């Protein structure tokens, strides 16, 4: 999703959605290869890498789990990406 693009429901994307889109675009594929299949699916949904970003709550609802479970996966994703030497967002 590009900054300023219209999201699926016709509204302007939020600043968080814009940030997540920029973040997803900045993460090299090599860094993403460190994620498990589950983590990659959550990452793609959460950041909008494969479409419109979804809130953690929406991801949880989609999979029928508690939001806290997705938050734990999100935290693990961020730790792994932060530890990956190739990631340069904000550097």
Identify the burial level of 52 via C-beta atoms within 10 angstroms of its C-beta, where 0-12 means exposed, 13-18 middle and 19 or more buried: middle
Rounded to whole angstroms, the Cα distance separating 36 from 42 reads: 10
CATH code for 15-83?
A: 1.10.10.10
Q: Are 15 and 7 in contact (CB under 8 A)?
A: no
Supply the pLDDT for residue 50: 74
Identify the burial level of 32 via C-beta atoms within 10 angstroms of its C-beta, where 0-12 means exposed, 13-18 middle and 19 or more buried: buried
DSSP 5: P
Supply the pLDDT for residue 31: 83
What is the domain partition of the chain in residue ranges? 15-83
Q: How many CA atoms lie within 13 A of 43 on its CB side?
A: 22
Supply the pLDDT for residue 13: 63
Supply the pLDDT for residue 27: 81
Per-residue pLDDT of the chain (91 residues; tens, 9 = 90+): 444 444 455 556 677 667 777 777 778 888 888 899 999 999 999 888 877 888 888 999 999 999 999 999 989 998 888 887 654 444 4
């Amino acid at each position: 999703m590009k900054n300023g693009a219209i999201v699926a429901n016709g509204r302007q994307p939020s600043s968080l959605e814009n940030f997540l889109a920029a973040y997803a675009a900045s993460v090299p594929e090599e860094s993403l290869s460190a994620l498990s299949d589950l983590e990659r699916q959550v990452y793609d949904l959460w950041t909008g890498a494969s479409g419109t970003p979804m809130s953690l709550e929406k991801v949880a609802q989609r999979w029928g789990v508690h939001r806290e479970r997705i938050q734990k996966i999100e935290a693990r994703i961020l730790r792994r990406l932060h530890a990956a030497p190739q990631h340069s967002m904000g550097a």
